[in-house]
Amino acid sequence: MTPTITAFENSPDRGRGFARDMPVRWAFEEVGQPYDVRLVSLKAMKEPAHLALQPFGQIPTYEENGLCLFETGAIVLHIAQTHEGLLPIDAAGRARAIGWMFAAVSTMEPPIVERESAGYLERGESWHDQRLPLMEERIRTRLLQLSARLGDAEWLDGGFSAGDLMMVTVLRRLEGSKLLDAFQNLADYIARGTARPAYRRAFAAQRAVFEAISGR
Ligand SMILES: N[C@@H](CCC(=O)N[C@@H](CS)C(=O)NCC(=O)O)C(=O)O
């Protein structure tokens, strides 16, 4: 059975690939698994039918043969565990790649998303400008540490894995900010990830949704 995922009917990012259906699409493309997409409106995401799939009223979700999953990392991990190509065969390498997936979502993503959310939720507050340097410093600390670990390697641990897929996805959220300027190896790492044919196909697919809705 072809898995079905959910994505925004009208993504607030206007097709720039920041919505979290993007890493799931990317994972499917990497392993060559066809998938269906059900588009949901912001309103429908908060209604019982969607809440039964995703208790927090968000996308993405994953459904296949009675299995319902939510949380991007869990969905990508499931795809990686049930197909070849996104996790090493050896148990130790596999465990390390999964560790990098967790590092992406639980160590790198929180300060990055905090700054991003503050940008659209708190911009009008008198204290926003004071808080911004603190938030950026937290991100810089993590970038410095990640950059030191990556060094001049191509990927985080040997060959490209689901760990890199999740990490590149998270780091991409900083595109357009100056935060990556001091970390050329991370900028190159993102460029390597987003140049992958599977990434390009996933990006084009989510972009097509925006173009269809905006008539472009
Ligand atoms: N930790 C969740 C976060 C999901 C999430 O934040 N989804 C966003 C789209 S990228 C969303 O649905 N936002 C709408 C909302 O929260 O109302 C995951 O990784 O799946």
Q: Reply yes or no on whether the pLDDT at 216 is more than 80.
A: no
Q: Does one domain contain both 68 and 147?
A: no
| Amino acid letter for position 126 | S
With a Cβ cut-off of 6 Å, ligand 1 is lined by 19-20, 45, 57-59, 71-72
Helices (H), the chain: 21-31, 48-51, 72-82, 91-102, 109-121, 128-150, 162-171, 184-194, 197-214
Residue 96 tokens read as 């390390």
Q: Reply yes or no on whether the pLDDT at 44 is more than 80.
A: yes
Of all protein residues, whose CA lies closest to atom 2 belonging to ligand 1? Answer: 71
Domain of residue 127 covers: 91-196
- State in Å: Cα 152 to ligand 1 middle: 32
The CATH number given to whatever domain includes residue 207 is: 3.40.30.10
133's CB contacts (< 8 A; 6+ apart) are: none
> In the chain, what percentage of residues exceed pLDDT 90?
92
Q: Reply yes or no on whether the pLDDT at 47 is more than 90.
A: yes
- State in Å: Cα 21 to ligand 1 middle: 9
pLDDT in tens, 141-169: 999 999 999 999 999 999 999 999 999 99
Of all protein residues, whose CA lies closest to atom 15 belonging to ligand 1? Answer: 58
Contact assessment for residue 167 and residue 107, using Cβ atoms and an 8 Å cutoff: no
Q: Reply yes or no on whether the pLDDT at 127 is more than 90.
A: no
Contact assessment for residue 169 and residue 26, using Cβ atoms and an 8 Å cutoff: yes
Q: How many domains does the chain have?
A: 2
In DSSP terms, 6 is beta-bridged to 38
**Four-CA torsion 83, 88, 90, 94, nearest 10 degrees:** -90
Say which residue the tokens 């100056």 belong to: 178
Q: Which of 12, 23, 38, 13 is nearest to 164 (CA)?
A: 23
Q: Is the pTM of this model over 0.95?
A: yes
Gap between the Cα atoms of 48 and 52, Å rounded: 6
Angle, helices 197-214/184-194, rounded to nearest 10 degrees: 70
Predicted local distance difference test score (pLDDT) of residue 125: 87
Contact assessment for residue 206 and residue 7, using Cβ atoms and an 8 Å cutoff: yes
Q: Does one domain contain both 65 and 123?
A: no
| 3-state SS string for 120-165 | HHCCCCCCHHHHHHHHHHHHHHHHHHHHHHHCCCCCCCCCCCHHHH
Q: Does one domain contain both 125 and 190?
A: yes
Closest ligand 1 atom, CA of 105? 19
Q: Reply yes or no on whether the pLDDT at 214 is more than 90.
A: no
Of all protein residues, whose CA lies closest to atom 17 belonging to ligand 1? Answer: 58
Contact assessment for residue 34 and residue 28, using Cβ atoms and an 8 Å cutoff: yes
Of all protein residues, whose CA lies closest to atom 6 belonging to ligand 1? Answer: 58
| Amino acid letter for position 10 | N
Q: Does one domain contain both 205 and 190?
A: no
Q: Does one domain contain both 21 and 72?
A: yes
Q: Does one domain contain both 174 and 77?
A: no
Gap between the Cα atoms of 199 and 158, Å rounded: 19
